[in-house]
Amino acid sequence: MKKCLECEERIVGREDKKFCSDGCRNAYNNKKNKDVTNLMRNINNKLRRNYRILAALNTDGKSKTTRTKLLSKGFDFEFFTGILNTKTGNTYYFLYNQGYMALENDYFVLVKKDL
């Protein structure tokens, strides 16, 4: 007699069945993936927040702002989706198509890549 991996009830049906119901299957897989899912959700939320901040400050496709303004809106400089190093030695950090580059005196240029 086979038992459900989640609730240990007797399984009726196909020989290769592992769960007694869709509910048990979902509960089992949610528990199994909980840690990874929470980590990914937290990172994606930070990326989304950073993207929204850049998009709100850069409505024209190219603009300037300060580190203080970015930080006051909750921007986290540790989270970005890509880096672009130009031939002239400049480094742009991107969140999808919204990017920024550090200038002098804690200023930043904000840019938007055309997709």
By residue range, what is the domain housing residue 103?
A: 33-112
Does 43 fall in a domain? yes
Confidence label for 30 from pLDDT (cuts 50, 70 and 90):
confident
Does 81 fall in a domain? yes
Does 27 fall in a domain? no
Does 11 fall in a domain? no
CA distances from 58 to 22, 97, 108 (A): 46, 11, 11
Give the integer Cα–Cα distance in Å for 94 and 54: 10
Q: How many domains does the chain have?
A: 1
Give the integer Cα–Cα distance in Å for 95 and 73: 16
Give the integer Cα–Cα distance in Å for 104 and 81: 23
Does 13 fall in a domain? no
Q: Is the dihedral of CA 58, 42, 39, 32 positive or negative?
A: negative
Does 87 fall in a domain? yes
Distance of CA 56 to the CA centre of its chain: 18
Structure tokens at 5: 């991996």
Q: pLDDT tens-digit profile of 38-89?
A: 888 899 999 999 999 999 999 998 999 999 999 999 999 999 999 999 999 9
Whole-structure pTM value: 0.71
Q: pLDDT tens-digit profile of 78-90?
A: 999 999 999 999 9
Does 50 fall in a domain? yes
Does 24 fall in a domain? no
